[in-house]
Amino acid sequence: MILAITFIFLVIFIRFFYIQVVQGGKLVMRATDQWNREIPVVATRGKITDANGQVLAGNTLSYSVFVRPNAVVNAEYSATVIAAALNLDAGEVLEKISSGKVSEITIARQVSKEKIEKLASYDIAGVYYAKDNTRVYSYGDALCQVLGFTANDGTGLSGIEKYYENVLCGVNGEISFTTDIVGVQTEDSRILYTEATGGNEVRLTVDIDVQLAAEEAIKAVYLSSGAKRASCIVLDPRDFGVLALVNYPSYDLNDVPREDMQTLNALTRNCVVSDIYEPGSTFKVVTAAADLEEYLKGNKSAFSPEYIFNGSRTRTVDGTKIKCWSDHANGKHSNQTLAQALNNSCNPCFTDIALALGRDTFYDYLSAFGLGNVTGIDFSGEALGMLVPETLVRDCDLARIGFGQTIAVTGLQLACAVAAAINGGNYYVPHLLKSVISHDGKEVEVNPVTLKRKVISEQASAMLAGMLEGVVAEGSGKKAFIQGYKVGGKTGTAQKYEDGHIAQGKYVSSFVGFFPADAPKYLALIIVDEPQGTYYGSAVAAPVAKEIFEDIIKIKDIKPFE
């Protein structure tokens, strides 16, 4: 009996020790919490700014309204007053107050100061207020698919707002006070205030002046061409920082169409990053780059810049006929060099290059230029593109890839590939983040420029850039020519496919250009999806690039070369 009694007391002692010592702190907090109520103090969301510090997404002061049902004296009267002051349905407010399921109910968020003052004048028991923030976008629909938007509670739902949520959100504080057992604040209540910590500022590589210029140009071509969609990306070829990114049609970030999910999904999609298309002749830049690099390496299968491609209009590969867009009448496109083939955008010449380099070598370059893989940009939803697996590719496939068919890319992939081809051969990780600024104004992070790989030599890159300058000066890209400035580029016109067949009358018109051609600082890719009437990239897309480049010249006060 003595042993049994000793054992029982030992068990009780151990239990006391566990409760009082091991769990003591936690239980004290739980007990205290039963007599305390908290009102959240919402942290100020970090700003999103452009490369020069111009605010793209900021905040205006607003308030949240809470009700503690146990502290409400007259539920019907309170519901009527709250509804009238906040423009809400009185029945719905009464239902929330009368539910009794929770100790605290959020009635409304992002309420203006004027409405709060009106409501506060009634001094209703059980109603509390806390500071909140309403997100405001300085430029409306500009950069809308990139910036994204937030939920009613301030959480990022898409775009940069979502991708950098942990940087922007901050840490909420609270106002705590003691109550009685039913949740009514006591007369001698102790009020404790925990300050919120504001979110950090996200500074982008985007230049808002360049962005607005691109927005106007893309909107104009969308309206004038009757296109399904028009897009543009402007890159800095020196580090792949995104200077502008436009998708049109767009939407106003201050008036998000939240009630129509189909429209919302369509308008918020960043097509340059998330959608793929056959690039057509703009892809010939990659094929030409591979040929020039292999020639400089001494590969006997590659063609020299002086090599004369014969003037045959048609090639037949594995029973597939490959034609030039021109009928070669009056000797047109006959016996041409690589530079002239780029000028004339002659498909059979690039078929010859792809087949001569062979599957293994050509696919090595496709991989090096980032085709069939993500670029790694700091943005959600990037597509891989489509590339026939190397083990399955046939000669006819290889031939068509050489001039931009039987391959699908994102606009971002193509822009990065061309940028690497003309910037000295350097493929960087494209990025939107420039730096992070703390809520007290200190730079706490600088996004490093990351070199992924060297794709071609500086010599090959310089040769290619010179050839592409010729395309704009005297070839298919003439409508992008700017007197006094060295502009290079390549046009593209690709047929669209639907259900595995060519969609008659549907084209993607594009142009990729850069300047100065001998030391590129700006690269722009223009994509116009299904323009009506004239559909050639040289006529539809090239003039848009010219307009954007001319605006950049004015914005940056770039002097013409002597």
User: Which sequence spans correspond to the domains of the chain?
Assistant: 47-177, 208-255+271-555
Q: Which residues are catalytic?
A: 281
CATH of domain 47-177: 3.90.1310.10
Give backbone dihedrals phi and psi of 480, rounded to 5 degrees, phi first.
-105, 0
**Residues in a beta bridge with 494:** 508
Cβ-contact 540, 531 below 8 angstroms: yes
Distance CA 514, CA 508 (A): 20
Tell me, what's the pLDDT at 195?
80
User: How far apart are alpha carbons 354 and 339 in whole angstroms?
Assistant: 16
CA atoms within 13 A on the CB side of 148: 20
156 burial via Cβ count (<10 Å: 0-12, 13-18, 19+): buried
DSSP-assigned letter for residue 71? G
Question: Over 304-322, what HEC string results?
Answer: CCCCCECCCCEEEECCEEE
Closest by Cα among 198, 149, 150, 152 to 172: 198
Domain 208-255+271-555 has CATH 2.60.40.1180: no
Beta strands in 144-188 (DSSP E): 173-178
**CA nearest to 148, candidates 379, 377, 376:** 379
Query: Beta 48-49 vs 201-204: how paired, if at all?
Result: parallel
Go through 316-344 and write b for each residue having 16 or more CB atoms within 10 A of its CB, e for each that does not.
Answer: ebeeeebebeeebeeeebeebbbbbbbbb
* Phi and psi at residue 208, to the nearest 5°: -60, -30
Q: What share of the chain is helix, strand, coil (3-state, %, to 5)?
A: 40, 25, 35
Quick one: 508 exposed, middle or buried, by C-beta within 10 A (0-12, 13-18, 19+)? buried
User: Which amino acid is residue 180, in one-letter code?
Assistant: D
**Nearest C-alpha neighbor of 409 from the set 231, 143, 226:** 231
Amino acid sitting at position 254: N
pLDDT digits (tens, 9 = 90+) for 85-112: 888 988 888 888 887 666 778 888 888 8
Predicted pLDDT at 63: 87
The three-state secondary structure class of 401 is helix
Query: What pLDDT was estimated at residue 225?
Result: 96
DSSP state of 448: P
DSSP, collapsed to helix, strand or coil, labels residue 93 as: helix
Lay out the sheet containing 241-248: strands in order across.
241-248, 229-236, 522-529, 501-515, 488-498
- Tens digit of pLDDT per residue, the chain (562 long)? 888 888 888 888 888 877 787 777 776 656 555 555 666 778 889 999 999 999 999 999 888 888 888 778 888 888 898 988 888 988 888 888 887 666 778 888 888 888 888 888 888 888 888 788 889 999 999 999 999 999 988 899 999 999 999 999 988 887 676 655 545 555 565 667 678 888 999 999 999 999 999 999 999 999 999 999 999 999 999 999 999 999 999 999 999 998 888 899 999 999 999 999 999 999 999 999 999 999 999 999 999 999 998 866 677 787 777 777 666 555 566 689 999 999 998 899 999 999 999 999 999 999 999 999 999 999 999 999 999 999 999 999 999 999 999 999 999 999 999 999 999 999 999 999 999 999 888 999 999 999 999 999 999 999 999 999 999 999 999 999 999 999 999 999 998 877 777 788 899 999 999 999 999 999 999 999 999 999 999 999 999 999 999 999 999 999 998 5
The candidate with the shortest Cα–Cα distance to 416, out of 430, 404, 406, is 430
CA distance 458 to 426: 9
pLDDT tens, position by position, 383-395: 999 999 999 999 9
Cα–Cα distance measured from residue 105 to residue 119, given in angstroms and rounded to the nearest whole number: 16
The pLDDT of residue 406: 93
CB 508 within 8 A of CB 499: no
